[in-house]
Amino acid sequence: MQKSQDRDSSDLSSKVALSQTKQLPPFIDFPEDLPVSECRAEIQNALAQHQVIIVAGETGSGKTTQLPKICLAMGRGQDKMIAHTQPRRIAAVSVAKRIAQELKTEVGQLVAYQVRFNERSGPRSQIKLMTDGILLAETQRDPLLKRYDTIIIDEAHERSLNIDFLLGFLKNLLPKRPDLKVIITSATIDAERFAEHFKDAEGRPAQLIEVSGRMYPVEIRYQREDSYGAVSDDGDEDNEQPDLSEMISDAVSECIRSGPGDILVFLPGEREIREAAEVLRQVNQQGLEVLPLFARMSQADQERIFKPSTNLRRVILATNVAETSLTVPGIRFVVDSGLARVKRYSWRNKVEQLQIEPISKAAANQRAGRCGRLGPGICIRLYSEEDFKRRPDYTDPEVLRSSLASVILRMKALRLHDIEAFPFVDKPSGRAIADGYHLLQELGALNEHNRLTSTGRMLSRLPLDPKIARMILAAKEHHCLTEMCIIAAALSIQDPRERPFEAQEASTQAHAKFRDKESEFISYLKLWSWYQEQYESRESNRKLQRQLRKEFLSPLRLREWQDIHQQIRQLVEEQQWRFNQVDATYEELHRALLSGLLGNIGLRSESVREYEGARGIRFVVHPSSYLQRRAAKWIMAAELVETTRLFARTVARVEPQWIEQAGRHLLKKLYSEPHFDPRRGQVMVYERATLYGLQLYQGRKISYARLDPAHARELFIREALVAGAIRQNLPFLTHNLRLIEEIEHLEHKSRRQDILVDDELIYRFYDQYIPQDMHQVATLEHWYKNLSSAEQAQLKLNKDELMRHEAAGISTEQFPKYLELDGLSLKLTYHFEPGSPKDGVTMEVPVYALKQINPIHTQWLVPGMLKEKVALLLRSLPQRLRRHCVPIPDYAEQFVEAVSAAPALKEKPLLSVLIDDIWQQTRVRVQSTDFKEETIPPHLSMIYKVVDEHGRMLSSSRNLALLKAEHAPAAEQSFKELLGEDRGTQATLEDHQHISSWDFGELPELLELKRGRQTVVGYPALVDQGNDCRIDVFDELHEATAAHRQGLIRLFKIALKEQIRYLSKNLKALPQLGMLYLSLGTQEELQEEIIDCALIQSCLATPWPSDEASFNERVRDAKGRFGLLLQEVIRLLQQIMNEWATALKKLNLIKAHKKAYEDISQQLNTLIYKGFVSRVDYNILQHYPRYLRAVQLRIDKLKNDPSRDQHLMHDVQLLQSKYQRRLSQLKGVPDPQMDEFAYLLQELRVALFAQELRTPMPVSVKRLEKAWHSMSH
């Protein structure tokens, strides 16, 4: 090889004379100090013999600047150009300048360049520098790349998306262009893979030429195992890591101790750079200049890196931008954190993720190589050698971590192979390809078959990101092209607003003028407008730049914004689209933006600052956004980026209706509950729409006929005609529904659903006449009107067609429409639906008459239901009793006939009358507790429906006592209003407000008050006022009775006041009783109770006096017996109080038995309380001494057998708790059944705990349970 190079040295000297054509310079100079110059002959020979060659060499070998010159020296680039691609715009421009300088020509002449929206070229240009994306874009207009005879793909090892696409494109292009030469340059990374990719038809890899770099030895120093960014065997980062900034500081100190030279520190991101810079400045190393280096830096800051202005030793804190793209001069030391912030695209979440990841071995070696350019260097890796060995060999190509939408769109436009068959160096995953297709479908560029749409063809002609191109296309439709071009250009560059770490607050204030309260996209428009004003009124460019920097704005990015905006406008003008002259509205602009950002919408969740995004993701608005605290319900974002968490950047408020319109081709619609809508007169269905899992609306009604006309017709017939939901008046339907209603009433009364024919038969009847396309009322009416009289008559049903059989025995007498009760005419309705709360007969009760309803009367229901109820009551009897009433149906029928013949029997409880009848018929004694009323079906108990004065239902229940308690205030108020309407009664009441003797004539038992067709009964009563009485009228008998009792006691006290005064002075036992009563009340209060109790016994025997004569007669009788009765009450009270006192003493001895102590205390409090002497019925009061002795015996037995007591107490408390719950539900409304049950509970305690004291009747837990179930619920 060396001899061959010597033979060619005369032809390939350092200065080569070329033919004197106008296209070529006279000499091409190849610097001898560049390693690539030494391989020039080998490269020329390989390129002459092969269509593709791979040139692998480290950075600094000179391959970037010398390869195009070698091609030029070979005579290439004369008829066609030499294309030379670079990954970055700055590199394309700087390389073009460097080559032009070496060829002693100006940029734009022999050497040209083109980057996005910026081109400098001329007719003599033979070498054209460009970005990868520019060459990729040219393939759309020139699929064979006929303008070029040589293509150099530089820095191919970076494996950007554009590079990989070009490599695949060129592989397909080479057989079609045998004259085309391709040079792939790369660092040593992946060179063999490129050679394999471009193997020839015979399977031989492409020629690989390795060029040595200008490298000096580099010493690698590793840190300990628990270092920062270490990777475990499973690839996860350690949970606990040392502080990165401190490790950087220690490593810098180590470099300083090792010798002179600048230090390059590799960090993953800007935040880490700022934190490390802060730590280094705090340490304040003498003679150090700390400089950051990252892509978003201003131009002025970047120039400080490449043009040192001081003699201080520099520490450059850089991201991975300094690995290969930029060469930082003067570097002797490298500190490698081993981390980089890598952008990955999540195919699952459809978001870009900027995650900090451990770098590959290849990237680590590239970083280390940065300190071996000037002499021997030192690289300190902040991780262990074992960690390094565990890392992947290479960084993932961008194609394996990117969205492929742009590539797919271009391939479709170029009519290339599908991406699945495209020859990528590293084939993308099927998931990534599917994601690219999905995005293009989202944008409307591809249809469901992945074929290019008209929208897609338009987008492919716009060399922009597909999302941005889609926004511009939508802006044409929404008349906002002027604004959209500005925003599209802004989204294509880095944000021109700078926020230096040391001046964040100042920059925030400076940028406040651009804020918009609802949209950060509009902030771009405000910034643009402000900048244009400043630009047009500038005195000089220098002053404008100073002003911009003062406002924390990047002049370079603003100029780039202007340039891109101009180019986008030119693209729009080329399409001959018209710009809007009137400012676009907020809605127009954001509707257009939505068309490209449908995957970035968000719905605010219950957590105000968190949003639910597409496909189940959750994100928050980035803290730097001033809209973070203005949480709109729906937002869209220009981008979703995941760092520490998923953030939305550049956000704006949107409405769900806009999203629905923009994403209509993507909506998933679900339909539910098809039904006939009487108001609309047609069958409707509820529609629910979601976009990527986010619900845009639900419950929207649409015509069901559009989706399923056949089923819509069926539902129309079933619901509109058969069920009668139709509102319009159609004669045939009115007739048919009236017949059906009559037959349904018969069914409810007979409690049989076998009279009316099945709905299916009625449906079939209509189905044979209704046209097939009929599914709404409007067309039905029109059709019906055009029928002949005979055809209209065919649509009418007759009763025989609707009835399966006759409904015998269903008469108004058996099932009346109204029930007459004490002057009230109460409406009845019947309903047959077992299990439903409406099953049975319902009585409508006006609230003012509620308290007047006597449950005794409603127990009898209606004649047509009484036989069934009686039969079931008889069946509930024990067999020993039931056998006397067989056959039960005959007995029940005979009983109903007997009651019908004697209506007065219905004034008594049904069970009482039935028990008497059984005795008369069979001479068998039956107790009420023998009936198992709990087995009687609910429909045989009356339902009470309480309505107000307007007929509106207030509530409904089978429990009359509960309804009375619930509506007591309303019923009382309604009754008072009714009472006030009767002027005569009102006058009588006003005349009798202070009564001290019976001088008001006869007190009637009741008063009749009229309201319409209803007669309401009022109950007059005397009301005790302390010193006298008054007459009042009550709406319920028990309230009147209670008040009248106290009123009579007051009148008798006044009539017998002399005798009472005398006897009261001679109550010798009173002081002793008063001492025992002291815990309940005073002696004077006890004396009043004793007198009241004696008066009740002497004067209030039933019937109570109702006129003056009967009252005076009671007074005369009482004068002779009152004293004896008073002494009898005192003797009984002495027994009660003494037994009570004894029980209390014994109770204190069993406090250790907590549950028994509490139970007995509750029992004693129930028996003995303030006022019990006069309030408790005297017949029950006489049993009190026995109840209290039973308590004492229980306490005595408890000491010997606590477990027995606990067992018995459990049985009692189960019943006691039921009683207490019911008592609280009654809210003070008296219930005789409850009073009786309370008496039985006391007798049960005697029977269980003190059997030796005996009870007046048999009692047991089982008997009380039966008694409880027999009570009306």
- Read off the pLDDT of residues 667-695 as tens digits, 9 standing for 90 and up: 999 999 999 999 999 999 999 999 999 99
Cβ atoms within 10 Å, residue 988:
15
pLDDT at position 324, please?
Answer: 62
pLDDT bucket at 400, cuts 50 / 70 / 90: confident
Examine the pLDDT at 1229 and tell me if it is beyond 80: no
pLDDT bucket at 133, cuts 50 / 70 / 90: confident
Examine the pLDDT at 287 and tell me if it is beyond 80: no
Question: Who wins on pLDDT, 29 or 1006?
Answer: 29
Q: Confirm whether 2-211 and 218-231+241-339+359-396 share one CATH topology.
A: yes
pLDDT bucket at 237, cuts 50 / 70 / 90: very low
pLDDT bucket at 355, cuts 50 / 70 / 90: low
pLDDT bucket at 881, cuts 50 / 70 / 90: very high
DSSP string over 960-971 = HHHHHHHTHHHH
What average pLDDT score do residues 736-754 get? 75
Reported as a single tens digit per residue, the pLDDT across 56-77 is 987 667 888 999 999 999 999 9
Examine the pLDDT at 268 and tell me if it is beyond 50: yes
Q: Which two tokens stand for residue 1160?
A: 């007995």
In the numeric block, the tokens 């599209």 are attached to 488
pLDDT at position 325, please?
Answer: 54
Question: Who wins on pLDDT, 437 or 1269?
Answer: 437
Reported as a single tens digit per residue, the pLDDT across 384-393 is 999 999 999 8
Question: Who wins on pLDDT, 10 or 1047?
Answer: 1047
Reported as a single tens digit per residue, the pLDDT across 30-40 is 988 788 888 99
pLDDT at position 246, please?
Answer: 87
Cβ atoms within 10 Å, residue 807:
18
Closest CA relative to residue 595, chosen from 445, 714, 452, 437: 445
Stretch among 614-623, 714-723, 794-803, 943-952 having the lowest mean pLDDT: 794-803
pLDDT at position 129, please?
Answer: 95
Q: Which two tokens stand for residue 498?
A: 């700078």
Using CB atoms within 10 A of its CB, is residue 1066 exposed (0-12), middle (13-18) or buried (19+)? Answer: exposed
Percent of the chain with pLDDT over 90: 49
Reported as a single tens digit per residue, the pLDDT across 452-503 is 999 999 998 887 778 889 999 999 999 999 999 999 989 877 789 988 877 8
Regarding beta strands 840-846 and 943-947, do their DSSP bridges make them parallel or antiparallel, or are they unpaired? parallel
Decide if 449 contacts 570 (C-beta within 8 A): no
Decide if 781 contacts 730 (C-beta within 8 A): yes
CATH of domain 218-231+241-339+359-396: 3.40.50.300
Examine the pLDDT at 210 and tell me if it is beyond 60: yes
Q: Which two tokens stand for residue 828?
A: 């009845």
Report the amino acid identity of residue 1150. I
Question: Phi first, then psi: what are they for 207, rounded to 5°?
Answer: -60, 125
Examine the pLDDT at 7 and tell me if it is beyond 90: no
pLDDT at position 242, please?
Answer: 64
Average pLDDT, the chain: 86
Q: What is the largest CA-CA distance in the chain?
A: 162
CATH of domain 2-211: 3.40.50.300
pLDDT at position 15, please?
Answer: 36
pTM assigned to the model: 0.52
Examine the pLDDT at 550 and tell me if it is beyond 60: yes
DSSP string over 338-399 = SEEEEEEEETTTTEEEEEEEEPPHHHHHHHHHTTSSSS-EEEEESS-HHHHHHS-SSPPPGG
pLDDT bucket at 592, cuts 50 / 70 / 90: very high
What average pLDDT score do residues 584-605 get? 95
What average pLDDT score do residues 517-536 get? 94
Reported as a single tens digit per residue, the pLDDT across 785-830 is 999 999 999 998 887 777 665 655 566 777 888 898 877 889 998 8
Examine the pLDDT at 21 and tell me if it is beyond 70: no
When mean pLDDT is compared over 18-27, 92-101, 586-595, 925-934, the highest value belongs to: 586-595
Cis upstream peptide for 887 (omega within 30°): yes
Cα–Cα distance for residue pair 977/954, rounded to 1 Å = 18
Domain limits, the chain: 2-211, 218-231+241-339+359-396, 462-596, 726-802, 818-974
Kindly give, in sequence order, each residue whose CB lies less than 8 Å from that of residue 242, ignoring residues fewer than 6 positions away: 226, 227, 228
pLDDT at position 848, please?
Answer: 86
pLDDT at position 500, please?
Answer: 82
pLDDT bucket at 654, cuts 50 / 70 / 90: very high
